[in-house]
Amino acid sequence: MSDGSPRRRFGLPPPEVLFAFAALGLVLLFGSLFNANGVFFQPAVHADALWQIAGFGILACGLTIVILAGGIDLSVGSVVALSGVIFTIASIREELPPVVSFGLAIAAGTGCGFLNGVMVAHLRLQPFIATLAMMAFARGLAKSSLLSGGVKIQRMPPPSEIEILNAKLDLAGLHVSLGTCIFLACFLATFVALRHFRFGRHVYAIGDNAQAAWLSGVPVKRTVVWAYTACGLLAGIAGVLFAGLERQGNPDGGAGYELTAIAMVVVGGTSLSGGRGGVTLTLLGALTIGYVRKILDLNGIATPAQHMITGGIIVVAVLVPKLLSRGLLHRDPGRP
């Protein structure tokens, strides 16, 4: 017998997808109503909103992979700081070629992610504990005398490889930052990896039921290691981007960035229990969070109030899809 629920009968997408689109649409409507005397309708405002979420969006892409596999990574903020410090030391202090500076920073992020994966998959540490340890280690290494010595790495004027990260591309009259283009490239790469490669199918299978996936022949440990490694790699890219945007390597930078990125994943509708969601939903969540902050900025709302509003949005984003999926907000025909 077919399910008579409205969602099945009319071919509607899952509740989390509907809610992700509805949340973004509601935020854009809110921006249209409270448009700061028409400022919200200027193309430059939207280009700036995309620029502001670029680094966080890259982190969110990596976290989407890990969360889909049933894990979590609390270390990405510290990895951002470590990668940024390594990038600026290589480019400013050592004056190494740009490709080497980029490579060293991204390799550092990738290595942190790999170690997270090994601790979770092979040492059987809880993801929360393993990545919390990496969060402390990466932050300490970024501040250590081996690297920054606890001081910001900067030079005026900045070298060309840092300045190029602040470049803007003219696309049909719209000035789009290079950071936005990097974010979209990372999104597309994550989308392809999850949708069109065996790795993606394995990630979803593990997040849905790791034991069943193992019994079905899925290389669970290897996939988990790759998931965390990919998350670290993307955190390394984000670290380079943040260092370029700030024109410095800040060992204290990246604090709390993991919370913003996780919020983007959650608001998009990806389940924290794993196995359900996707990076397209994360893109919607990133746009939602980004536009909320931009609209509040345009209307002069203080930062503490912005954090409070964002927290409320996260609660609603988690609660409403659950209620919808359990049928508490609608009833099937014939049910009393």
Structural domain spans, the chain: 12-325
What's the confidence (pLDDT) of residue 17? Answer: 79
At 167-199, the pLDDT tens digits run 888 776 677 889 999 999 999 999 999 999 999
For residues 293 and 309, give the distance between their C-alpha atoms in angstroms, rounded to a whole number: 9
Q: Within a 10 A sphere around the Cβ of 111, how many other Cβ atoms?
A: 17
Would you give the distance in Å from CA 149 to the centre of its chain?
29
The per-residue pLDDT of the chain, averaged, comes to 88
pLDDT band at residue 57 using 50, 70 and 90 as cut-offs: very high
Of 189, 169, 193, residue with least CA distance to 51: 169
Longest dimension (CA), the chain: 73
* 279 phi/psi in degrees, rounded to 5: -75, -20
What's the confidence (pLDDT) of residue 34? Answer: 87
Q: Within a 10 A sphere around the Cβ of 2, how many other Cβ atoms?
A: 6
Mean pLDDT of 42-70: 93
> Is 325's pLDDT higher than 90?
no
> Is 327's pLDDT higher than 70?
no
> Is 321's pLDDT higher than 70?
no
- The tally of CA atoms less than 13 A away on the side-chain side of residue 278 is 16
What's the confidence (pLDDT) of residue 11? Answer: 52
13, burial (CB in 10 Å: exposed 0-12, middle 13-18, buried 19+):
exposed
321: tokens are 């899809």
> Is 329's pLDDT higher than 70?
no
pLDDT band at residue 131 using 50, 70 and 90 as cut-offs: very high
> Is 85's pLDDT higher than 80?
yes
For residues 28 and 48, give the distance between their C-alpha atoms in angstroms, rounded to a whole number: 15
What's the confidence (pLDDT) of residue 336? Answer: 40
Residues 6+ apart with CB under 8 A from 156: none
Please report, in angstroms and rounded to a whole number, the separation of the first and last CA atoms in the chain. 19
Q: Cα–Cα distances in Å, from 324 out to 10, 19, 36, 54, 181?
A: 16, 9, 34, 31, 35
Residues 6+ apart with CB under 8 A from 254: 76, 77, 78, 79, 80, 81, 84, 239, 242
Stretch (H or E) spanning 175: strand 174-177
At 6-18, the pLDDT tens digits run 455 545 567 777 8
What's the confidence (pLDDT) of residue 113? Answer: 98
Of 253, 293, 213, 306, residue with least CA distance to 59: 253
For residues 185 and 193, give the distance between their C-alpha atoms in angstroms, rounded to a whole number: 12
What topology does CATH give the domain 12-325?
Answer: ABC transporter involved in vitamin B12 uptake, BtuC (1.10.3470)
Residues 6+ apart with CB under 8 A from 306: 292, 293, 296, 297
What's the confidence (pLDDT) of residue 13? Answer: 65
Ranges 70-79, 105-114, 123-132, 295-304: which has the least confidence: 295-304
Max mean pLDDT among 5-9, 13-17, 156-160, 251-255 falls in: 251-255
